[in-house]
Structure 1
Amino acid sequence: MPADPQRVAHDWLDHDAGPVVRPYAMTQGRVAADGNEFDLVAFVVATPAEDSGPETLQPEHHAIVAASWEPISVVELASALDLSIGVVRVLLGDLRSAGLISLYEPPAASQPHDVDVLKAVVNGLRAL
């Protein structure tokens, strides 16, 4: 059988998709961030540090810090870096514990919804 010129030399590399790395490899098997869970609309802002941070930072950690010098939401960050939300949350937990980012949740996200407002919306929709 002749060698396929499109075939890649390594199984971990795909010419169309680029390097294929499983999400659990990026998060070292963790599925939840250390500490408190944060909202998807929370803003992430990089904090200035004297050193580059711990040497255990992965390229994805550095990409998050570089992308968050201006406030950016968790969802936008995941989209910009083409990473899943779960991976981004775990990596943000690492960066927050290292002191390299700050997270700011909007007040509406941390407060419970007003039941009367929700009932008024449902009644308004029913009236349509």
Structure 2
Amino acid sequence: MRAEPPGPRHEWLDAAAGPVVRPYTLTGGRVRAAKGFDLVAFVLAAPGADPAGQRGLQPEHRRLVECARRPAAVADLAADLDLAVGVVRVLLGDLLARGLVAVHQPPAAGAPDNDILKAVVSGLRAL
């Protein structure tokens, strides 16, 4: 007969994943950041940013600041933290409001002209 491991047992503990926390718990029920972040926007921690001295930050906030010590895209940060992009965007909004990170959006000038797109479609149809 095998003995139960010591300590309390919880239904929300998963042997493979560890404690399972719902995304809305991390964001306090918020689903949108105060400011929109593009997936390829680069995030950089502010010089001298110390999330340990800030009250009300979660461990995920602190991990985001640590990962952003070097420039990283929003999508990469989500992958590094194994969190949904929407959750990372909300958490980055919190950090941006506190001045702990800076976000550099990509330039929007790369969109092609409608006339060029129409010419490409016409050329493809001609094939």
Q: Bin the TM-score by the shorter chain.
A: 0.7 to 0.9
Give the 3 Å change call, closer, same or farther, for CA 49–124 of structure 1 in structure 2: farther
Determine if contact 2:33/2:93 at 8 Å carries over to the other structure. Answer: yes
**What's the RMSD between the two structures over aligned residues?**
2.6
Distance between the aligned counterparts of 2:66 and 2:50, measured in 1? 14
Aligned to 1:83: 83
Distance between the aligned counterparts of 1:122 and 1:3, measured in 2? 68
Give the 3 Å change call, closer, same or farther, for CA 106–124 of structure 1 in structure 2: farther
Give the TM-score, by structure 2 length: 0.82
**Cα shift at 1:113:** 4.5
Distance between the aligned counterparts of 2:19 and 2:78, measured in 1? 18
**Cα shift at 1:97:** 0.2
**Cα shift at 1:3:** 7.7
Measured against aligned partners, the alpha-carbon deviations of 1:5-38 in whole angstroms (never above 9, x if no partner) come to 69x821221111111000000001011112x212
Deviates more, 1:74-83 or 1:44-53: 44-53
Which sections of structure 2, spanning at least 5 residues, go unmatched?
none
Give the TM-score, by structure 1 length: 0.82
Distance between the aligned counterparts of 2:75 and 2:17, measured in 1? 22
Which letter maps to 1:65?
A: V
What is the number of residues matched between the two proteins? 124
Percentage of matched positions with identical amino acids = 55
1:107 is paired with a residue whose SS is coil
Determine if contact 2:32/2:90 at 8 Å carries over to the other structure. Answer: yes
Give the 3 Å change call, closer, same or farther, for CA 112–63 of structure 1 in structure 2: same
Deviates more, 1:57-66 or 1:12-21: 12-21
Give 1:45-124 correspondences, 5 Å limit.
45-49=44-48, 51-52=50-51, 53-108=53-108, 113-124=112-123
Which sections of structure 1, spanning at least 5 residues, go unmatched?
none
